[in-house]
Structure 1
Amino acid sequence: MLLPSARPLFSLSSTLLLALILIPSYSVCAEDTEFGLGTKIYSQGCAECHGEQGEGVQSEYAAALIGDASIGELAEVISDTMPEQDPDLCVGEDAVAVARYIHHAFYGEAARLRNRPPKLALARLTGEQLRQSLADLYGSFAGNTWAHEDHGVNAIYFDGDRWNDKKRKIERVDSVIDFDFGHDSPGEGIEPESFYIHWTGTLKADRTGDYELVLRSTCSCTLDFGHTQRKLIDNHVQSEGRTEFRKRIRLTAGRGYPFELSFIQRERKTDQPPALVSFCWVPPGGVEEVIPQRNLLATSFPPAFSLQTKLPPDDSSYGYERGTQISRIWDDSTTQAAVEFSQFAGDELWPLYQQKHKKDSNENRAKLRTFLGELAETAFRGSLDEIARKLYIDEQVDATEDDREAIRRVCLLALKSPRFLYPTLDSNQTASRRVANRLALVLYDSLPVDDWLLAKIQKDELATEAQANQTAWSMVSDYRTQGKMRSFLYHWFHVGGTDEIPKDSEAYPGFDQAVVSDLRASFNAFVDEVVWSETSDFRQFFIADWTFTTDRLATFYGDAWKPVEAEGPPLRRSVSDAKVRMGVLNHPLVMSSLSYYKTTSPIHRGVFLNRYILGRTLRPPNAAFAPLNPDLHPQLTTRERVSLQTEDVNCQVCHERINALGFTLENFDAVGRWRETENDRPVNASGNYLTRDSKTVTFEGASDLANYLAKSDDCHKAFVEAAFEYFVKQPVTAYGSDTLDRLTDKFRNSGFKVRDLLVAIAATAATEPLKTQEEA
Structure 2
Amino acid sequence: MTFRPIYMLLGSVGLMGFSLMGQVGKAPKPIDGAKIFEQQCAPCHGDKGQGGKGFSKPLVGNRSLAELTKFISQSMPPGPKKCPAPDAAKVAAYIYKTFYSPLAQERNRPARVTLSRLTVRQFRNAVADLVGGSRPVVPAEAGRGLRGEYFKARDLQAKDRVIDRVDPEVKFDFGTDGPEPGKFDPRYFSTVWQGSVLAPDTGEYEFVVRSDQAVRLWVNGYKEPLIDAFVRSKTDVEFKASITLLGGRAYPIRLEFSKATQGVDEPEKQKAKPVQRASVSLLWTRPKHATETIPSRCLFPELSPETYVVTTPFPADDRSIGYERGNSVSKEWDDATTAAALETAAYVASHLTNLSGIQETDPKRKERLIGFCHDFVERAFRRPLSPEIEATYITKQFAATPDLEMAVKRVVLLALQSPRFLYREIGAGKTDSYLTASQLAFELWDTLPDPELRRAAEHNELTTPEQLEKQTERMANDPRAWTKLRDFLMLWLKVDEVPDIVKSAKRFPGFDATTASDLRTSLELFLENKARSKESDYRELMLSRTEFLNGSLAKWYGANLPPDAPFQPVEVDQRSGVITQPYLLARFAYLDNSSPIHRGVLIVRNLLGRTLNPPPSAFAPLAPSLHPDLTTRQRVALQTKPAMCNTCHGIINPLGFTLEKFDAIGRLRDAENGKPIDATGSYLSRSGTVVKFSGADELAKYLATSDEAHSAFVEKLFVHLVKQPPLAYGPKTLPKLQSEFAENQYSIRKLMVRIAVATALDGGRNR
Shorter-chain TM band: 0.7 to 0.9
Q: 1:611, 1:144 → 2: CA distance?
A: 34
Match of 1:332 in 2: 335
Q: 731, 737, 740: which one pairs with 1:746? A: 740
Query: Which digits, 9 at most, give the CA deviation of each residue in 1:397-427, with x for residues without a partner?
Result: 2333333322322222111111111122698
Query: What residue identity is the alignment partner of 1:703?
Result: D
- The answer as to whether partners of 1:549 and 1:562 remain within 8 angstroms in 2 is no
Match of 2:493 in 1: 493
Q: Helix, strand or coil for the counterpart of 1:181?
A: strand
Q: Helix, strand or coil for the counterpart of 1:52?
A: coil
Query: What residue identity is the alignment partner of 2:685?
Result: T
Q: 1:423, 1:606 → 2: CA distance?
A: 37
Query: Which digits, 9 at most, give the CA deviation of each residue in 1:452-488, with x for residues without a partner?
Result: 3332223222222321221111111322222221111
Q: 565, 569, 573: which one pairs with 2:569? A: 573
Match of 2:307 in 1: 304
Match of 2:78 in 1: none
Greater RCO, 1 or 2 (C-alpha within 8 Å, sep 6+): 1
- The answer as to whether partners of 2:166 and 2:301 remain within 8 angstroms in 1 is yes
Match of 1:512 in 2: 512
- Taking a change above 3 Å as real, the CA distance of residues 236 and 115 of structure 1, as seen in their structure-2 partners, is closer
Query: What residue identity is the alignment partner of 1:442?
Result: E
Q: 41, 50, 53: which one pairs with 2:48? A: 53
Any stretches of 5+ residues in structure 1 without a counterpart? Answer: 1-10, 26-37, 68-82, 91-100
Match of 2:407 in 1: 406
Q: Helix, strand or coil for the counterpart of 2:506?
A: coil
Query: What residue identity is the alignment partner of 1:503?
Result: K
Q: 2:572, 2:46 → 1: CA distance?
A: 54
Match of 2:39 in 1: 44
Match of 2:317 in 1: 314
Q: 1:641, 1:569 → 2: CA distance?
A: 40
Query: What residue identity is the alignment partner of 2:329?
Result: I
Paired residues for 1:524-673 under 5 Å: 524-557=524-557, 559=558, 561-563=559-561, 570-574=566-570, 576-579=571-574, 581-621=575-615, 623-673=617-667
Match of 1:420 in 2: 421
Q: 1:476, 1:19 → 2: CA distance?
A: 65
Residue 14 (structure 1) shift: 7.7
Q: 1:12, 1:123 → 2: CA distance?
A: 34
Query: What residue identity is the alignment partner of 2:144?
Result: H
Q: Helix, strand or coil for the counterpart of 1:592?
A: helix
Residue 767 (structure 1) shift: 2.6
- Taking a change above 3 Å as real, the CA distance of residues 704 and 608 of structure 1, as seen in their structure-2 partners, is same
- Which range moves more in the overlay, 672-681 or 396-405? 396-405
Q: 1:114, 1:602 → 2: CA distance?
A: 30
Q: Helix, strand or coil for the counterpart of 1:709?
A: helix
Residue 54 (structure 1) shift: 5.8
Q: 2:238, 2:85 → 1: CA distance?
A: 70
- Taking a change above 3 Å as real, the CA distance of residues 749 and 50 of structure 1, as seen in their structure-2 partners, is farther
Q: RMSD of the alignment, in Å? A: 3.8
Q: 1:572, 1:548 → 2: CA distance?
A: 5
Match of 2:387 in 1: 386
Q: Helix, strand or coil for the counterpart of 2:256?
A: strand
Query: What residue identity is the alignment partner of 1:447?
Result: L
Residue 508 (structure 1) shift: 2.0
- Taking a change above 3 Å as real, the CA distance of residues 262 and 40 of structure 1, as seen in their structure-2 partners, is closer
Q: 1:428, 1:373 → 2: CA distance?
A: 26
Match of 2:694 in 1: 700
- Taking a change above 3 Å as real, the CA distance of residues 569 and 297 of structure 1, as seen in their structure-2 partners, is farther
Query: What residue identity is the alignment partner of 1:572?
Result: Q
Match of 1:70 in 2: none
Q: Helix, strand or coil for the counterpart of 2:223?
A: coil
Query: Which digits, 9 at most, give the CA deviation of each residue in 1:31-79, with x for residues without a partner?
Result: xxxxxxx9999743663698512679999x9789xx9xxxxxxxxxxxx
Paired residues for 1:81-230 under 5 Å: 116-140=109-133, 145-187=138-180, 189-230=183-224
Query: What residue identity is the alignment partner of 1:452?
Result: E
Residue 658 (structure 1) shift: 1.4
- The answer as to whether partners of 1:666 and 1:684 remain within 8 angstroms in 2 is yes
- Taking a change above 3 Å as real, the CA distance of residues 241 and 395 of structure 1, as seen in their structure-2 partners, is farther
**1:716 aligns to 2:710 (yes or no):** yes
Query: Which digits, 9 at most, give the CA deviation of each residue in 1:586-636, with x for residues without a partner?
Result: 212111211222322222222111110100111223543222222222222
Query: Which digits, 9 at most, give the CA deviation of each residue in 1:221-264, with x for residues without a partner?
Result: 32222123342223344555443321111211111101122222
- Taking a change above 3 Å as real, the CA distance of residues 313 and 23 of structure 1, as seen in their structure-2 partners, is same
Query: What residue identity is the alignment partner of 2:567?
Result: L
Match of 1:3 in 2: none
- Taking a change above 3 Å as real, the CA distance of residues 125 and 556 of structure 1, as seen in their structure-2 partners, is same
- The answer as to whether partners of 1:660 and 1:688 remain within 8 angstroms in 2 is yes
Query: What residue identity is the alignment partner of 2:595?
Result: S
Query: Which digits, 9 at most, give the CA deviation of each residue in 1:528-566, with x for residues without a partner?
Result: 010121221111222111211111111122x2x445xx5
Identical amino acids, percent of aligned pairs: 39
Q: 2:282, 2:193 → 1: CA distance?
A: 11
- The answer as to whether partners of 2:284 and 2:293 remain within 8 angstroms in 1 is yes
Query: What residue identity is the alignment partner of 2:167?
Result: D
Residue 517 (structure 1) shift: 0.7
Residue 151 (structure 1) shift: 0.8
- Taking a change above 3 Å as real, the CA distance of residues 640 and 371 of structure 1, as seen in their structure-2 partners, is same
Paired residues for 1:731-742 under 5 Å: 731-742=725-736
Query: Which digits, 9 at most, give the CA deviation of each residue in 1:278-306, with x for residues without a partner?
Result: 21101112111110000001211122122
- Which range moves more in the overlay, 402-411 or 263-272? 263-272
- Which range moves more in the overlay, 472-481 or 231-240? 231-240
Match of 2:77 in 1: none
Residue 521 (structure 1) shift: 0.8
Q: Helix, strand or coil for the counterpart of 1:539?
A: helix
Q: 2:596, 2:49 → 1: CA distance?
A: 31
Q: 1:503, 1:115 → 2: CA distance?
A: 43
Q: 2:60, 2:368 → 1: CA distance?
A: 60
Query: Which digits, 9 at most, give the CA deviation of each residue in 1:667-714, with x for residues without a partner?
Result: 212221222222211222221111111111111121111111111111
**1:347 aligns to 2:341 (yes or no):** no
- The answer as to whether partners of 2:187 and 2:276 remain within 8 angstroms in 1 is no
Q: 2:51, 2:700 → 1: CA distance?
A: 38
Paired residues for 1:473-484 under 5 Å: 473-484=473-484
Residue 428 (structure 1) shift: 9.2
- Which range moves more in the overlay, 288-297 or 258-267? 258-267
Query: What residue identity is the alignment partner of 1:306?
Result: V
> TM-score scaled to structure 2, two decimals?
0.85
- Which range moves more in the overlay, 621-630 or 203-212? 621-630
Q: 1:324, 1:21 → 2: CA distance?
A: 53
- Taking a change above 3 Å as real, the CA distance of residues 85 and 739 of structure 1, as seen in their structure-2 partners, is same
- Taking a change above 3 Å as real, the CA distance of residues 506 and 49 of structure 1, as seen in their structure-2 partners, is farther
- Taking a change above 3 Å as real, the CA distance of residues 653 and 14 of structure 1, as seen in their structure-2 partners, is farther
Any stretches of 5+ residues in structure 2 without a counterpart? Answer: 1-14, 66-82
Q: 1:23, 1:375 → 2: CA distance?
A: 75
Residue 316 (structure 1) shift: 0.7
- The answer as to whether partners of 1:106 and 1:115 remain within 8 angstroms in 2 is yes
Q: Helix, strand or coil for the counterpart of 1:156?
A: strand
Q: 1:116, 1:693 → 2: CA distance?
A: 26
Residue 24 (structure 1) shift: 13
- The answer as to whether partners of 2:353 and 2:360 remain within 8 angstroms in 1 is no
Q: 1:209, 1:173 → 2: CA distance?
A: 28
Q: 1:13, 1:540 → 2: CA distance?
A: 54
Q: 1:237, 1:544 → 2: CA distance?
A: 52
